[in-house]
Amino acid sequence: MFETLKARPADGILALMQMFKDDPRDNKIDLGVGVYKDATGLTPIMRAVKAAEHTLWETQDSKVYTGLAGDPAFSDAMVALVLGSAVPRDAVASVATPGGTGAVRQAFELIRMARPDARVFVSDPTWPNHVSILNYLGMEVVRYRYFDSETRGVDFDGMMADLKTARAGDVILLHGCCHNPTGANLNLTEWQAVVETLLETGAVPMIDIAYQGFGDGLEEDAAGTRLVASSVPECLIAASCSKNFGIYRERTGILMAVSANKGARKLHQDTLAFLNRQNYSFPPDHGARLVTMILTDESLRADWQAELEDVRLSMLTLRQHLADELQQLSGSDRFGFLAQHRGMFSLLGTTPDRVQALREQNGIYMVGDSRMNIAGLNAQTVPILARAIVDVGV
C-alpha cells in the first residue's frame, strides 16, 4: 500500500537547517531556524529551567499520567502569563499541547469541527507551517495583506481592507507579537482597529503567540492578545513556551478557548480534552511542569524574567548595530526598519536570488523569503552581514 505515497515538499526552514549543517565552511553564519542563540552560538538552558529540573529530579516521585488537559496548575500559570487579568479565569478553557505547533494544530481542528466551511485568514506572509497544516487539514486559506515591501512595516490599510471581507464564522489568524517571519508588528491603536473590524464582521480571532517576552517585554508583548480576548465574544489563543523558556525539544504549549459565554466553558473544555485524546491522549508533562514551577515560585520567576530580559535586550542591541552598520555602508536610512522590528526575525525583503548569493558566496544562511534570525548574529558577524548585504545589492 505504501507505494501510493507521494513525496512531500521539504519544509524550507528545516531543509535550510540541514544545508547549514552540511556546509563545511568555518565562517558560515546561521540566520535560519527560529531558535535563540547567545553570542557564542549556543542555545543555553535557562538558569531557572536548570534549577527547576534539579528540584524536579529530587522531588518527583511518579511519572503517572496527568489529566487529558495536562496539569491544571500549568493552565492556571499560563493563562495568567498570557492573559493577565484581561478576562475572568472561568472564561477560559485550555489544554496543554506538544509545543505551540500542537496548539495551532488543535485549534485548526477545533475550528474545522465547529464550522467545516470556515475560511482561515492568514497574514501574507505568515509562518509557512500555518498554511501547510491548513492545507493538510483541507481548510480554506485566505491571505490578507500584511507586509509593506517598501517600508518593511505593516501595510495596515491593506490589512484592514482585506479583514473587512471576512464573514461571520471565518477565522482571522493573528500573531500576538514578534511577527514571524517579518518582525513588523501592530501597535495598540491598530490592534484596537482590528478588534472593531472583528466585531463588525463577526469573524473569530485566533492568536498565535510564540515569542512573548522577545519584543518589548512580557506584559507589552501580550497587550494586543489581551485587548482582543477582552473585547470579542470568542477567541482562540495558541501559546508556545519553546522560545521564552528555551525548552524547544520538551514540546510545551497551550491552547486556550476564551468565551464570554460562561455556560459554554464545560463544552469547550470537554471538546479540547477530546481532541487531545484523539490525537495523542495525554500531553507531554516535563516542560509544562518546569514552566509551572518557574511561574509559581517567586525567586525562580524573578531569575527567569531577568534572563529573558537579557535575551530580549541582546537582540535589540544586535538590531541597532546592524541598522547602524548598514546606514554607514549604504549611506542611506533604508535599513532603519531593522531597528524598528521586534522579536527574533526580520524580513530583509529581498529576492530569492540574492538570498542564494548570500548563502553561496558568503556562507550566510537565511530562509528563502529573506527572513533573518537576528539572534544568529554577534558583534563580530554583524559587520560581515552588513557588508555582504550591501555587496549583493539589497
Give me Rg for the CA atoms of the chain.
21
| Best CA proximity match to 297, nearest among 125, 59, 29 | 59
Residues near ligand LMR (CB under 6 A): 13, 33-34, 127, 129, 180
Return the number of the residue (11 or 353) whose C-beta is nearest ligand LMR. 11
Nearest approach, Cβ of residue 174 and ligand LMR (Å): 16
* Phi/psi-derived region of residue 363, left when phi > 0, alpha when psi is between -120 and 50, beta in every other case: left
| DSSP type of residue 178 | S
Return the number of the residue (33 or 141) whose C-beta is nearest ligand LMR. 33
Q: Is 243 a catalytic residue?
A: yes
Find all residues with CB under 8 Å of 276, minimum gap 6, and list them: 68, 69, 95, 97, 106, 282, 283
Nearest approach, Cβ of residue 13 and ligand LMR (Å): 4
Nearest approach, Cβ of residue 108 and ligand LMR (Å): 16
Nearest approach, Cβ of residue 182 and ligand LMR (Å): 12
Q: Is 257 a catalytic residue?
A: no
Nearest approach, Cβ of residue 181 and ligand LMR (Å): 7
Q: Which of 170, 208, 221, 369 is catalytic?
A: 208
Find all residues with CB under 8 Å of 384, minimum gap 6, and list them: 27, 29, 362, 364
| DSSP type of residue 91 | G
Report which secondary-structure segment, H or E, holds 371. Answer: strand 371-373
Return the number of the residue (9 or 263) whose C-beta is nearest ligand LMR. 9
Q: How far apart are CA 371 and CA 210, in angstroms?
A: 17
Q: Which of 86, 118, 127, 323 is catalytic?
A: 127
Return the number of the residue (8 or 63) whose C-beta is nearest ligand LMR. 8
Q: How far apart are CA 159 and CA 156, in angstroms?
A: 5
Return the number of the residue (101 or 269) whose C-beta is nearest ligand LMR. 101
Q: Residue of minimal CB distance from ligand LMR?
A: 34
| Best CA proximity match to 29, nearest among 311, 379, 282 | 379
Residues annotated as catalytic (active site), given as ranges: 127, 208, 210, 243
